[in-house]
Amino acid sequence: MKVSVLKENLAKALSITGRAISTRGSLEILSNVMLTTEAGRLKVSATNLEVGINYWIGGKIEEEGAITVPARLFNEVVNSISSSKINLELEELNLHIDSDKDKLLIKGISIDEFPLIPRLDKSVLVISSKILRETLSLINFAAAQDESRPVLSGVYLLAEGNKLTFASTDSYRLAEKNIKLPEKVKEKIEVIIPARALIELTHVLSDINEDINICINDNQILFASNELEFTSRLIEGQFPNYKQIIPETNETKAIVNKQEFINIIKIASLFAKESANSINLNIKSKGRIEVSATSSQIGESSSFIEAVVEGKDGNISFNSKYLIDVLNNIKDQKVVFEMGGKLNPGVIRPDTDKNYTYIIMPLRS
């Protein structure tokens, strides 16, 4: 291998593929990144066996070749080099990294030990990276973080006709987003993708400005563009039929400034630590939301913000974390909160997006 690349491009490739590097790995090879010359470009690859990432950068390829090197060290080295151009040259298992002012050598491991990242090539749908990233940022956080029920640790993807749906739930709250596809899918697609993988994908997509092709086989999903392949395993099982818990009509509706809402929820949450984050929302039809919390040990809080309220007064208790999670991810300045009695789930939506629904189960107060 004899290649010269721009530092900036190599650093980006290592940042993106770093998302699939095992940090507390059992297998030494999984903490390595693989470099391969391929059709005039340099391919950078990493996998933790759940997620695999290939990322291609341009460069001048003088000799073909492939090697794996420790990802963290190589990333730190590349980022520390101040020259804009980096030459890579392989001599047996030693990777020479040279720039104007640096002559460096990292000892590599043969690519024979590196796990294959599965390749899928039948694209079933196409979506812009921006829409996919924005959608996932509203969905990922609502999946379960533990794996006691594996399907709940995943994000549900359903494509049927020209409608694409993403949904997730940890059984305390639910997030759902519907997207209209420019073209109908040929056949119905229904899979569950590990949320942990999609959290990494969401980070990666912030660096990608191309359309993303989605390819699916029995147990793998691939998100691919000209420069990226992001592969994840799928979760087996049946996603719960969540449609039934989305309330149809609501008695109380309030439109509030999102940031003000976050602020008063945060104050109450400071007083809700011993009550499992339980805070109380009091929606007054005269035009305000009061948020309060009480702790026998540390004290109590009551704060309010102005709101545009329609319908009846409402009173309901929630885990403050589930409110903060969604409000931190909604980009609109205003959000809509709806409820229908203190025992029924509450609903939060961005003011301008009827295709996103976030449901929170109430707490008994």
Distances (CA, A) of 212 to 19, 57, 127, 156, 224: 18, 17, 5, 18, 5
Tokens of 276: 């499992």
Q: Does 62 bind its own copies (CB under 8 A)?
A: no
Instruction: Using CB under 8 A, pick the residue from 6, 29, 106, 158 that binds its own copies.
Output: 106
Q: Does 357 bind its own copies (CB under 8 A)?
A: no
Residue whose token pair is 């809509």:
336
Count, residues near its own copies per rule CB under 8 A? 31
Question: Hey, is 75 helix, strand or coil?
Answer: helix
Residue 128 · residue 211 · CB < 8 Å: yes
CB atoms within 10 A of CB 359: 23
Q: Is 342 in the site for its own copies (CB under 8 A)?
A: no
Q: Which DSSP category does 109 fall into?
A: B
* Closest separation in Å from C-beta 20 to its own copies: 21
Span from 9-17, 42-50, 142-150, 259-267 in contact with its own copies (CB under 8 A): 259-267
Interface map 289-328 toward its own copies (x if CB under 8 A): --------xxxxxxxxx-----------------------
Residue 172 binding its own copies, by CB under 8 A: no
* Choice between 28 and 210, CB closer to its own copies: 28
Residues 25-44 binding its own copies (CB under 8 A) are: none
Amino acid of residue 282: N
CA atoms lying within 13 Å on the CB side of residue 304: 11
What Cα–Cα distance (Å) separates residue 308 from each residue in 75, 159, 287? 51, 36, 6
Among 26, 39, 82, 241, binds its own copies (CB under 8 A): 82
Interface stretch with its own copies, choices 45-53, 138-146, 220-228, 265-273 (CB under 8 A): 265-273
Q: HEC profile for 202-240?
A: HHHHCCCCCEEEEEECCCEEEEECCCEEEEEECCCCCCC
Q: Does 91 engage in binding with its own copies (CB under 8 A)?
A: no
- The binder of its own copies chosen from 61, 77, 117, 216 (CB under 8 A): 77
Q: Is 93 in the site for its own copies (CB under 8 A)?
A: no
Q: Is 2 in the site for its own copies (CB under 8 A)?
A: no
Q: Which CB, 106 or 189, lies closer to its own copies? A: 106
Q: How far apart are the first and last CA of the chain?
A: 66
Select from 6, 11, 104, 111 the one that contacts its own copies (CB under 8 A): 104
**d(C-alpha 28, C-alpha 347), whole Å:** 46
Residues β-bridged to residue 282: 290, 315
Beta carbon nearer to its own copies, 172 or 304: 304
Looking from the CA of 88 toward its CB, the CA atoms found within 13 Å total 30
95 vs 174 by CB, closer to its own copies? 95
Ramachandran region of residue 173, left (φ > 0), alpha (ψ -120 to 50) or beta?
A: beta
Name the residues that contact its own copies, by CB under 8 A.
70, 73, 76-77, 80-82, 94, 101-107, 260, 263-264, 266-267, 270-271, 297-305
